Each structure stands twice: as C-alpha cells, then as structure tokens.
Amino acid sequence: MKSNVFCNMVGIEYPIIQGAMAWIADSSLAAAVSNAGGLGIIASGNAPVEVVREEIRKAKKLTDKPFGVNIMLLSSNAEEVAKLVCEEGVKVVTTGAGSPGKYISMWKEHGVKVIPVVASVALAKRMEKAGVDAVVAEGCESGGHVGELTTMALVPQVVDAVNIPVIAAGGIGDKRGVGAAFMLGASGVQVGTRFLVAKECTVHQNYKDKVISAKDIDTVVTGRTTGHPVRVLRNKLSRKYQILEKEEASIEQLDELGKGALVKAVKDGDTDNGSVMAGQIAGLISKEETCKEIIEEMFDLKSLLNKFDSII
Ligand code: TUI
C-alpha cells in the first residue's frame, strides 16, 4: 500500500519533481509531468514576470493536477515572481541558487507549499526553522548551478538534520537512482536531465541530441572563479570559458561570455557556442520518451528488490 509523505503533501501520485531548467521547463513540460502523476515545475529563470504569468495560465489549461513554479534567486525579478505565484494561486514553489528566507512568510500566508533547493545541511536547517514544507537536497552531479557535495554524501546528512521531507536531486536518471535515493532516506526525487529529452520538452532538438550522445565524462563545471559554478556539457564555449578562468580573467569578462549563452543553446540550437546545462547522468540517457514513460520506468521499483538477495 503506497503512502508517501511528499505525495500526500502536494497531492500527486509519484514522488517526483521535474527539475526547473531555465528557458526549458515551460508549461508544456510541466503540465505533461503533472498529467503523468509527478510534480511539473515551470522555471521562471530570468524570464520577465508577464512571460511567467502566461506560462502559469497555459499550464492551468493543460492540466488540472498540481504544478509548481521555480524561482531562481539570482534573477533580478525574483521578488516580482515571488508575488506572482501568490496572485496566480500556484500550489508549490521551489527555489534555487540562494536562500528564499525573505519570501517564506508571504508564501505560507497564501497557502503555497515551499520547497527550497539546498546544497548544504546548514541551509536545510535554516529553511526548516523558517517554516518550509520540504527541501530538495541537490548534489553537484546535477546540471546548472551546483554546490560542493555529491548526492550520496549530502542526502543522508540532510535527512538526519531535519524533520521535514527531503527530496534527493543530482545524478538520478532511472529507477536505480530512485531506489538509491530512497535508501539514503529521501521521500522523493527531483529529476532534470532525463526530462530534458522528454517528447513534451520544447528545448531545441540539437540540445536533446547532445544530451543523448553524451558520455559519462562529458560534463564540466565552469564558473567556480566567479562564485557561480555551473555544470554544462563540454563544448567550444566551455573550453573558451576554462581558458579564460585559467588566465584569471575578470568576472566581468567571464560574465560577458556567459551572457545569453543558455538561450543560444536552448532556442537556437547552437550547442557549440551556447551553454548546454546538463547533469552527469546525461551519459545514461539514450532516447526520447514521453513524461509518462519516463515516470513509469523510474517507479517500476519492485524489480530492484532482488538486488538485496546476496547480502541479506
Ligand atoms: O539553482 C539551481 N540550478 C540552476 S540555477 C540556473 S540559472 C543560472 N544561470 C547562470 C549562472 C548561474 C545560474 C541554472 N541552474 N539549482 C539549485 C541549487 N541551489 N543548487 C545549489 C543551490 C544553492 C547553492 C548555494 C542554494 C543555496 C546556496 O547558498 C545560499 C545560502 O545562503 O547558503
């Protein structure tokens, strides 16, 4: 008999959150994930607030299931989007790349479930004290902005430190990753890279093809010198960036190179000169599937039970 604390909290069937990939996770992907029984997320990234509002309204037309909005806290309009989710009656908010402390009371007053992404035990504890409903503990295997710790090390330490549900993220790409996350004490998983290649994901086909053809060692973290480390698939841009970092280029110079680079890859399909954010699990991902097929494979967990036969 299934009874998962996180599913019950947000009203979904499978304890899986779709990662908030900036410029990629739109109403099409979010609604497809929610319709398949997971929690779809619209990533607001750096998008203008009216664009985010439009995506929320489109998602409401595409699904009657709960979905969420992610706020990227480095964005200059984070505060406006924080208010927007209240106005639009969004059920769940996730946050990334910082501490959402100053918005939490407003969200709670509006009945929004608040689930910040954390990369350390310290922030997880601070967030619990501030009254959030759950945390996503994201290891540095994930794509995009990353912390220091791996999922394997971070998740059990966060689980032991807080009394709210912990969702594991980073390096989870199939049912084996889901099983492992639950063994670490997680109550659910967040998955980004595998949903990148979902049929309902509107990212440029070149981006999907680059993820599908990636090998295990094809990601690299750039931007450690700027304080914004970002995991991407290795390409011409990442190599240029690494050379500049080695030459101790200024933050302004590095920021200039990164400006608009994600849009170049996501919308124009320029996977040589654009920023192709993806997690280390890209090497495992081999085909496009629907969100329903992805989620059903990831939660076909009974077949994993015999893994214990030789040790129990
Ligand atoms: O946020 C993400 N992943 C992202 S955001 C993003 S957009 C971007 N584009 C270019 C440069 C930088 C960002 C792409 N991918 N994941 C959630 C996440 N949050 N990972 C790590 C963190 C994090 C790190 C430090 C959260 C909080 C934190 O410290 C805050 C504090 O106060 O301790």
Pocket lining: 266 vs ligand 1, CB cutoff 6 Å: no
Assess contact for 245 and 224: CB atoms under 8 A.
yes
Pocket lining: 101 vs ligand 1, CB cutoff 6 Å: no
Q: Where are any strands of DSSP class E within 170-250?
A: 188-191, 219-222, 230-233
Pocket lining: 74 vs ligand 1, CB cutoff 6 Å: yes
Cβ neighbourhood burial of 41 (10 Å; 0-12, 13-18, 19+): buried
Q: How far is the CA of 225 from the centre of ligand 1 (A)?
A: 15
What is the 8-class DSSP label of residue 71?
A: E
Pocket lining: 16 vs ligand 1, CB cutoff 6 Å: no
> Which residue puts its alpha carbon closest to atom 4 of ligand 1?
145
Q: Provide the residue-wise pLDDT of the chain in tens; the chain has 312 residues.
A: 578 999 999 999 999 999 999 999 999 999 999 999 999 999 999 999 999 999 999 999 999 999 999 999 999 999 999 999 999 999 999 999 999 999 999 999 999 999 999 999 999 999 999 999 999 999 999 999 999 999 999 999 999 999 999 999 999 999 999 999 999 999 999 999 999 999 999 999 999 999 999 999 999 999 998 889 999 999 999 999 999 999 999 988 888 888 899 999 999 999 999 999 999 999 999 999 999 999 999 999 999 999 888 898
Query: Would you mind telling me the total number of residues written for the chain in this entry?
Result: 312
Assess contact for 12 and 37: CB atoms under 8 A.
yes
Pocket lining: 154 vs ligand 1, CB cutoff 6 Å: no
Pocket lining: 144 vs ligand 1, CB cutoff 6 Å: yes
Listed residue (45, 55, 48, 79) closest to 230, CA to CA: 45
> How far apart (Å, rounded) are the C-alpha atoms in residues 89 and 224?
37
- pTM here? 0.97
Q: How far is the CA of 83 from the centre of ligand 1 (A)?
A: 20
Q: How far is the CA of 134 from the centre of ligand 1 (A)?
A: 17
Question: Any residues with CB less than 8 A from the CB of 264 and at least 6 apart, and which?
Answer: 270, 273, 274, 275
143 φ/ψ angles, rounded to the nearest 5 degrees? -85, 165
> How far apart (Å, rounded) are the C-alpha atoms in residues 237 and 227?
18
How far does CA 176 lie from the centroid of its chain? Answer: 18
> How far apart (Å, rounded) are the C-alpha atoms in residues 188 and 181?
8
Structural element, H or E, at residue 43: strand 40-43
